């Protein structure tokens, strides 16, 4: 894999700011390298920088034809409340977003991670935002299988609009 694909080098990160920076760099790399899909997985994305201007700019630059964003989460209430810019972006790009909500039991197994075909960022300790990033094919494949399993068990959620009477 060419070095320009790797956002900042693989290895551990420690703390919320390091995790957020890793995510921003990965989203920017996905846009710059035209990666076709991104998967995001977390219980509620409360402490992710999804609403930050840099993240929205990266999502906007990445989005387009033949792209796919998949989200797996326990519930979407926190995401809707804490990341209004991301919610607005999601509404504009509804046709490339597919989201699933996992039942409580399944949420315990839910990785807190970002997956792309070439790069992953995963928090092994979400409470302290400790984890690692990697381009190792075995790590990329392992995370994809775990997120796929959760996605398959989930039900559709985080729609582009919330209808009510």
Grouping H, G, I as helix, E, B as strand and the rest as coil, residue 159 is coil
99 contacts 128 by C-beta, under 8 angstroms: no
| Dihedral angle sign, alpha carbons of residues 28, 52, 23, 92 | negative
Percent of the chain predicted with pLDDT > 90? 82
Average pLDDT over residues 36-57: 95
67 contacts 96 by C-beta, under 8 angstroms: yes
The whole-angstrom separation of Cα 12 and Cα 7 is: 13
How confident is the model at residue 3, as a pLDDT? 43
Q: How confident is the model at residue 105 (pLDDT cuts 50, 70, 90)?
A: low
Average pLDDT over residues 151-158: 92
Three-state secondary structure along 25-41? HHHHHHHHCCCCEEEEE
Q: How confident is the model at residue 165 (pLDDT cuts 50, 70, 90)?
A: very low
């Amino acid at each position: 894999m060419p070095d320009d694909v790797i956002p900042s080098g693989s290895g551990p990160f420690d703390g919320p700011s390091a995790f957020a920076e890793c995510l921003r760099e990965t989203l920017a790399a996905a846009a710059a390298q035209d990666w076709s899909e991104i998967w995001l997985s977390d219980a509620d994305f409360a402490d992710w920088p999804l609403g930050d201007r840099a993240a929205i700019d990266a999502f906007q630059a990445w989005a387009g034809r033949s792209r796919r964003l998949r989200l797996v989460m326990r519930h979407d209430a926190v995401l809707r409340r804490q990341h209004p810019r991301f919610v607005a972006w999601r509404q504009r790009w509804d046709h490339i977003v597919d989201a699933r909500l996992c039942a409580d039991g399944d949420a315990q197994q839910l990785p807190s991670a970002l997956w792309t075909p070439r790069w992953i960022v995963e928090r092994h300790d979400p409470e302290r935002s400790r984890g690692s990033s990697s381009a190792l094919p075995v790590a990329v494949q392992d995370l994809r299988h775990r997120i796929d399993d959760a996605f398959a068990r989930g039900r559709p959620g985080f729609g582009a609009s919330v209808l009510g009477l």
